[in-house]
Amino acid sequence: MLNITENVAKILGVNINIKGFEVSSKKVQKNYVFFALKGKKVDGHDFLKEAKMNGATVAVVSKDYKGENFGLILVFVDDVFLTLKSLGKMCAENKKNIIGITGSVGKTSTKEFLAQILAKKYKIGKTKESYNGQIGLPVSILNMQGNEDLWILEMGISEPNEMDQLLDVVTLDVAVITKIIMCHVANFKGGMKDIIEEKLKILRDVKKAIVHMDLQKEVKNFKKEIVYYSMNDSRADFFLKVEDNYGVIFEKGKKIIKLPINIREKHFWENILAAIATARFFGFSYEEIKTENLLLPKMRCEKIEKKDVIFINDTYNANPTSMKAALDDLATYKQKKIAVLGPMKELGQFAKQEHTKVLKHALSVADQILVVGDEYKVDENFQKKEKVFFFENLETLTKELEKILTPNSVVLLKGSRSVGVEKIFELLNF
């Protein structure tokens, strides 16, 4: 039986041993297929040489491309994106036991926790990193083996009708919906109402859903089998109460078990609870659900220690809720606390008020605050605060950070993905 890569190679008409698929010329590896997508800002055809240098052997290009092949096998198609999408859709056809995860916060963490739990009994396929959009989802599917027992697919939306596009690629059996908050709101004219409506489309064809309790009112009219989870509302089907480093689980209002949880940051525990509720649907007993050795995804509260300084690398993304949670976690440290904050993107008309809230909260937590981006220049009063420093770029911010770092400091790094706050590690001479 052919696996996914062999099937796709056959469809593309290339008689070589393909190892994987990518849309980023920087991330391709040896014997990869590179899809030369044309975006709003960059054209993948301009990076064919780089893709070849990084190991690609095949490139899917537009039929209009007239340039060099740089030693690549070129596959000419009418539309590179539609080809990628159709290949992903073909590979997902007839696949059973597909779990889709959407929401505003916690998608990747929930996916990783769930995969770690279910892997004890099943062979798992999952979306690569946070490859969860119209491009990332089919790329993730193409990089599956095809013989997995379960697929866990992260499904993110940032604009209207995007969930429809994702559901055109894959049909789900189970949906998990994490907390929905103000995120990508600049792209939705109707604000939170439209965001919720778009994400709830994931319930369209599923048999069962695991849903955050906050969404009960919006979901109650769906004719599905739905279970709710929460850390705030004990009426939820799955409720978790924190006791030191243990999570006390209540199922259907009945206290079931006390589970040890090794992850220090309590705001991830609700994602663990979503994973537990989903594992229960797949027949896991609480004895089989192990929560004492779970691992966080990279760049989510990742601890890096250098010369007696603890850096908390939480730079994968940022929104008002995750910013507050990261600052609340910073507050629990006894050492000198430094908050390095990048802006939160795609907040539209709410940008000013949300950045104001973040700065106010940071002032109540951190000893010193370093911010980059015009989004934080919301109030002159903040610029008069002695412990708040504003910077135009990461280079100048890093120089100041080097000056104020002392042994036994804790430094939180947090900002939207497009800002790349983690670049500070490359700039830091410390």
Listed in sequence order, the residues at least 6 apart from 384 whose beta carbon sits closer than 8 Å to its beta carbon are none
State if pTM tops 0.85.
Answer: yes
Rounded to whole angstroms, the Cα distance separating 377 from 413 reads 19
Mean pLDDT by 10 residues, the chain (430 residues): 85 94 97 95 96 98 97 98 98 95 95 97 93 96 96 96 97 97 84 94 95 94 91 97 95 96 94 98 95 92 92 93 95 96 92 93 95 86 79 95 94 93 90
| Beta bridge partner(s), residue 246 | 243, 260
The pLDDT value recorded for residue 160 is 95
The pLDDT value recorded for residue 1 is 47
Residue 125 near residue 99 (C-beta atoms within 8 A): no
Residue 13 burial (C-beta neighbours within 10 Å; 0-12, 13-18, 19+): exposed
Q: Is beta strand 208-212 parallel, antiparallel or unpaired with respect to 254-260?
A: unpaired
Comparing CA positions, the residue from 6, 64, 3, 5 lying closest to residue 36 is: 64
Question: b/e map of 227-236 (b: 16 or more CB within 10 Å)?
Answer: bbbbbeeeeb
Listed in sequence order, the residues at least 6 apart from 202 whose beta carbon sits closer than 8 Å to its beta carbon are 100, 102, 155, 163, 167, 172, 175, 177, 209
Q: What CA dihedral angle connects 346, 348, 350 and 354, to 10 degrees?
A: 30
Other CB atoms within 10 A of residue 15 CB: 8
What letter represents residue 45's amino acid?
H
Other CB atoms within 10 A of residue 71 CB: 11
The pLDDT value recorded for residue 2 is 60
Listed in sequence order, the residues at least 6 apart from 212 whose beta carbon sits closer than 8 Å to its beta carbon are 103, 177, 178, 179, 180, 228, 229, 230, 270, 274
In the chain, the domains with their CATH numbers are: 4-81 (3.40.1390.10), 94-281 (3.40.1190.10), 302-427 (3.90.190.20)
The pLDDT value recorded for residue 383 is 66
Other CB atoms within 10 A of residue 88 CB: 26
The pLDDT value recorded for residue 221 is 81
Residue 33 near residue 59 (C-beta atoms within 8 A): yes
Residue 248 φ then ψ, to 5°? -90, 120
Rounded to whole angstroms, the Cα distance separating 205 from 385 reads 53
The pLDDT value recorded for residue 280 is 97
